[in-house]
Structure 1
Amino acid sequence: MWLLVVGLAAIALKYFEVGFVAGLDWWIVLLPFPAAALWWAFADWSGYTARRAMERDDARREDRLERQRDALGLSTRRGGSRRKP
């Protein structure tokens, strides 16, 4: 995602001729976009994306279970609730 932001910022700087980016060739300015495509292809191929999604789902499930335990007064944690006020 950050490669897209860098690419969009570089395009804006090149278009408005700001700073050293104004003197760069367009192919250099547009380079973050194929780099982002390569990163996404690698992340999908390596399973990184699926792992991150599973970790996010697991954390969401654990938070939900902990909230339900707290609501029932069955909290297994010492020191009270996990949620921040």
Structure 2
Amino acid sequence: MLFLGLGIVLLALKYLEVGPVAAWSWWIVLSPFALAVVWWTWADWSGYTKKKAMERENVRKQARLDRQREQLGLGTRKSGRR
């Protein structure tokens, strides 16, 4: 997402001819978009995206379980106790 944001900012600066970016080559200005594509391809290929999604889901699941235990008056489960 960082590469995409940087690409949009550089594209706007180049289009509006602001500052030193106006003199830069279009290849330099558009390179963050290529880096974003490479990053997303790697993230999908390596499983990074799926791992992060699973981590978010596990945090949401644990929070829901903790809320339900609190509502039942059981408190949260301590590690080491079963």
Aligned twin of 1:55: 55
- Distance across 2 between alignment mates of 1:27 and 1:55: 37
- Bigger fraction of residues in helix: 2
Query: 5+ residue gaps in structure 1?
Result: 79-85
Aligned twin of 1:81: none
Aligned twin of 2:74: 74
Q: Which moved more, 1:67-76 or 1:54-63?
A: 67-76
For 2:12, the aligned partner's letter is A
TM-score, normalised via structure 2 length? 0.89
Counting matched residue pairs gives: 78
Aligned twin of 2:34: 34
- What secondary structure, in the 3-state scheme, does the structure 2 residue paired with 1:30 have? helix
Identity between Structure 1 and Structure 2 (%): 56
Deviation at 1:76, TM superposition (A): 2.3
Alignment root-mean-square deviation, CA: 1.3
Query: 5+ residue gaps in structure 2?
Result: none
Deviation at 1:61, TM superposition (A): 0.1
Query: Runs of 4 or more off by more than 4 Å in structure 1?
Result: none
